[in-house]
């Protein structure tokens, strides 16, 4: 038996934060060494950070990344460690994983399949490396092989699939298996989306089984660059068996998993499997041999089960953990001193407020009070707090801003939510400001403004007049103002620009209203594992969603203004995600909602397509939002649509043709 210990580390990196990124990598190597690991897989582009955007194109950034790797090489003595960085070669920039052993760089493997969908934009910066090609790379005094390589370290063959490489049909692992690889490393930067963990788990298991290898997967962790959240997935499998998985959504800078694998057993599995096609002619192609001595270790006890508690995570729990971690990293990386939320007593602002409170609960539960303070070491107010209640009061300010159209119901709901999450609560009467603007404009246009003639203007001024107050409160304390718009509203522009869209971050703009309402019910009665239920949400959940911008006698609700949210979200998925035209969307809606009349269905489809087309300019102006599923409407990262268009007029006219 030839046992070696493999480790995978997840890192919370920040683009171009050289010292912090380097510190995290050093910590991971030290943790792996203490665990007795011989091979360590680090995430993709971990040296620079994955989200450098066009800074990748800077020769200075490329140079600094290489300098950091060289500074870290002494840490690798007695170990085999992968590093992710951008590498230039003859006019092309490549997403590369370097392998170091015993203090020396052995070579660099370049990614063959680039992620270019949605928020991934790798083809803008990198070139795909051709299969089967290896070259000699020279930079200053450093010379190393680059390309499609296999590393023979002390008789153990190591290969790479870099993130997207494992997601394609013709995976590099197919060829690497023929070349006799024993261990496959997958350094990844795979953004969080609902259900994605299960997909990764399948390709890790399938790769380990089909290629007859030990497979180590290491993802990034946290809100790295603002929008994408990385869940810190890590896995080690061997020959179709999951050996160990790491916890996701951690608030730590570094997390490590490790496991011993039997290389001889892996090779025996290859030999005994009839379908495995070894290729002796390819066995020596692109192989970099290095002297390395794996110390002898004793076999571990036979595992009785995979060490994972994450597979059964509900969508509600996953949503809570992802957004909470995203908020935490956004807070500390932007060096903000808390959050301000305009808490209306409705679903969206209540959801945002509860997510901030849960972030504090979850991070303190994991890090402890002092660990939480250490993460926010720039904030002296946080340093003085002695309890979670104090943290919440200092870090979250909720502001209820009333006009004459506000009700006692929403005021009470806002008060109960703020009390339940221990936030600071302020109440402001902005009606005099609304009246002042209305009178000023009335004089300017020489007529009185009425609801019959000026409905939209009178609604919007109430939303807009609330913005300066909450911005001012945020500025006073150096806090971050959170916008509360959701994805359903973004789809149809049901939001007041420079009003309820105001903020530096829109944490729920990537999630639909129907899901948020379900989640709030869950938060009221069950709550997340790292937190607790919030019974005060009953006062929010009992209401029909309303903007409260018309007089109460009008009985305004969101769904009477638009359509049922469930229907709206169904149309959005069909029209935007599936790219169906109005007629196709209508046919699908007829099948899904047979209880609705033909007139209702046509009205809803027409309204959606008209509002979608007219409001792209609003989506362009939304504050940055978190990417939570692969149906996002964010035009900067996922869903592009022209600001000016024909608005589907011909297609909508055809709906009414006999």
Q: Looking at the DSSP assignment, which residues form a beta bridge with residue 101?
A: 80, 104
Among the residues of 396-450, which ranges form H helices? 408-421, 431-445
Residue 358 has pLDDT above 60, yes or no: yes
pLDDT value for 554:
84
Sheet containing strand 214-218, edge to edge, reads 241-245, 234-238, 214-218, 183-187, 156-160, 150-153, 287-290
Query: Where in the chain are all domains bearing CATH 3.60.110.10?
Result: 3-290
Residue 368 has pLDDT above 80, yes or no: yes
Indicate the pLDDT class of residue 357, thresholds 50, 70 and 90. Answer: very high
Q: What is the mean pLDDT of residues 323-350?
A: 97
Q: What is the mean pLDDT of residues 39-46?
A: 98
Handedness of CA 385, 390, 396, 400 (dihedral sign): negative
DSSP calls for 68-114: HHHHHGGGGTTSEEEEEEEEEETTEEEEEEEEEETTEEEEEEEPSS-
Q: Tell me the pLDDT tens digit for each residue of 469-509.
A: 999 999 999 999 999 999 999 999 999 999 989 999 999 99
Residue 410 has pLDDT above 60, yes or no: yes
pLDDT value for 299:
81
Q: Residue by residue, what is the 3-state secondary structure of 107-150? A: EEEECCCCCCCCCCCHHHHCCCCCCCCEEEEEECCEEEEEECCE
Question: What is the biggest distance separating any 2 CA atoms in the chain, rounded to whole angstroms?
Answer: 92
pLDDT value for 305:
44
Cα Rg, the chain, nearest whole Å: 28
pLDDT value for 657:
81
Do residues 8 and 256 lie in contact, with contact meaning Cβ atoms separated by under 8 Å? yes
d(CA 202, CA 205): 5
Residue 310 has pLDDT above 60, yes or no: no
Q: Tell me the pLDDT tens digit for each residue of 369-392.
A: 999 999 999 999 999 999 999 999
Handedness of CA 95, 630, 341, 451 (dihedral sign): positive
CATH number of 315-561: 3.40.50.620
Q: Tell me the pLDDT tens digit for each residue of 276-304.
A: 666 676 656 689 999 999 998 888 876 54
Q: Tell me the pLDDT tens digit for each residue of 564-594.
A: 999 999 999 999 999 999 999 999 999 999 9
Indicate the pLDDT class of residue 118, thresholds 50, 70 and 90. Answer: confident
Looking at per-residue pLDDT, the higher value among 297 and 182 belongs to 182
Q: Tell me the pLDDT tens digit for each residue of 230-257.
A: 999 999 999 999 999 999 999 999 999 9
Superfamily of domain 3-290: Carbon-nitrogen hydrolase (3.60.110.10)
pLDDT value for 301:
73
| Percentage of the residues of the chain whose pLDDT score is greater than 90 | 88
Coil, strand, or helix at residue 481?
strand
Residue 403 has pLDDT above 50, yes or no: yes
pLDDT value for 313:
66
> What separation in angstroms does the CA of 580 have from each of 518, 570, 577, 588, 624?
27, 12, 8, 10, 27
Residue 26 has pLDDT above 90, yes or no: yes
Q: Is 518 exposed, middle or buried (0-12, 13-18, 19+ CB in 10 A)?
A: middle
Query: Where in the chain are all domains bearing CATH 3.40.50.620?
Result: 315-561
Q: What is the mean pLDDT of residues 5-23?
A: 98
Q: What is the mean pLDDT of residues 507-530?
A: 95
Q: What is the pTM of this model?
A: 0.93
The secondary structure of residue 302, as a DSSP letter, is P
Q: Tell me the pLDDT tens digit for each residue of 430-462.
A: 999 999 999 999 999 999 999 999 999 999 999
pLDDT value for 397:
98
Residue 5 has pLDDT above 50, yes or no: yes
Among the residues of 76-227, which ranges form H helices? 122-125, 172-178, 196-210
Q: What is the mean pLDDT of residues 46-53?
A: 97
Mean of the per-residue pLDDT values of the chain: 94
Indicate the pLDDT class of residue 308, thresholds 50, 70 and 90. Answer: very low
pLDDT value for 302:
64
């Amino acid at each position: 038996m030839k046992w070696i210990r493999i480790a995978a580390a997840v890192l919370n990196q920040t683009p171009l934060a050289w010292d912090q990124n380097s510190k995290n990598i050093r910590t991971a190597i030290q943790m792996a060494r203490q665990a007795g690991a011989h091979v360590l897989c680090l995430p993709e582009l971990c040296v620079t950070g994955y989200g450098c955007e066009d800074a990748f194109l800077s020769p200075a950034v490329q140079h600094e990344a290489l300098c950091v790797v060289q500074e870290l090489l002494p840490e690798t003595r007695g170990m085999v460690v992968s590093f992710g960085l951008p590498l230039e070669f003859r006019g092309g920039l490549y997403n590369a994983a370097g392998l170091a052993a015993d203090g020396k760089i052995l070579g660099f493997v370049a990614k063959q399949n680039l992620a270019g969908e949605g928020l991934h934009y790798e083809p803008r910066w990198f070139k795909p490396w051709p299969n089967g090609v290896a070259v000699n790379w020279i930079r200053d005094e450093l010379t190393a092989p680059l390309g499609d390589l296999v590393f023979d370290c002390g008789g153990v063959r190591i290969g790479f699939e870099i993130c997207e490489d494992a997601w394609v049909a013709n995976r590099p692992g197919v060829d690497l298996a023929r070349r006799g690889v024993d261990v496959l490393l997958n350094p990844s930067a795979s953004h969080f989306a609902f259900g994605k963990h299960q997909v990764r788990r399948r390709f890790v298991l399938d790769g380990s089984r089909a290629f007859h290898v030990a497979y180590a997967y290491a993802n990034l962790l946290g809100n790295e660059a603002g929008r994408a959240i990385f869940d810190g997935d890590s896995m080690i499998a061997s020959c179709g068996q999951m050996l160990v998985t790491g916890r996701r959504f951690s608030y730590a800078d570094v997390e490590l998993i490790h496991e011993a694998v039997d290389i001889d057993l892996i090779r025996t599995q290859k030999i005994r499997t009839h379908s495995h096609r070894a290729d002796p002619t390819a066995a020596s192609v692109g192989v970099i041999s290095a002297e390395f001595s794996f110390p002898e270790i004793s076999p571990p006890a036979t595992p009785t089960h995979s060490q994972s508690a994450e597979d059964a995570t509900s969508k509600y729990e996953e949503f809570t953990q992802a957004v909470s971690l995203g908020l935490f990293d956004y807070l500390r990386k932007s060096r903000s001193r808390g959050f301000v939320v305009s808490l209306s007593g409705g679903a969206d602002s209540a959801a945002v407020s509860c997510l901030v409170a849960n972030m504090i609960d979850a991070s303190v539960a994991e890090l402890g009070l002092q660990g939480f303070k250490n993460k926010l070491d720039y904030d002296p107010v946080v340093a003085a707090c002695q309890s979670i209640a104090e943290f919440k009061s200092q870090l979250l300010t909720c502001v209820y801003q009333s006009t004459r159209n506000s009700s006692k119901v929403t005021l009470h709901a806002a008060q109960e939510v703020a009390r339940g999450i221990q936030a600071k609560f302020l109440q402001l009467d902005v009606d005099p400001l609304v009246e002042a603007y209305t009178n000023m404009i009335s004089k300017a246009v020489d007529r009185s403004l009425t609801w019959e003639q000026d409905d939209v203007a009178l609604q919007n001024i109430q939303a807009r007049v609330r913005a300066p107050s909450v911005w001012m409160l945020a500025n006073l304390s150096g806090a971050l103002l959170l916008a509360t718009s959701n994805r359903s509203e973004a789809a149809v522009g049901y939001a007041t620009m420079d009003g309820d869209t105001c903020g530096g971050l829109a944490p729920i703009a990537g999630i639909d209203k129907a899901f948020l309402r379900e989640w709030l019910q869950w938060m009221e009665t069950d709550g997340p594992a790292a937190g607790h239920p919030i019974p005060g949400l009953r006062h929010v959940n009992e209401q029909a969603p309303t903007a409260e911008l018309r007089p109460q006698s009008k009985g305004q609700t969101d769904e009477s203004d638009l359509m049922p949210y469930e229907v709206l979200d169904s149309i959005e998925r069909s029209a935007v995600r599936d790219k169906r035209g109005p007629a196709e969307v209508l046919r699908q809606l007829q099948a899904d909602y047979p209880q609705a009349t033909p007139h209702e269905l046509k009205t809803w489809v027409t309204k959606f397509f008209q509002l979608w087309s007219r409001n792209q300019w609003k989506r362009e102006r939304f504050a940055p939002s978190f990417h939570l599923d692969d149906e996002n409407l964010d035009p900067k990262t996922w869903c592009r649509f022209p600001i000016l268009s024909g608005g589907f007029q011909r297609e909508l006219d055809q709906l009414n043709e006999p």
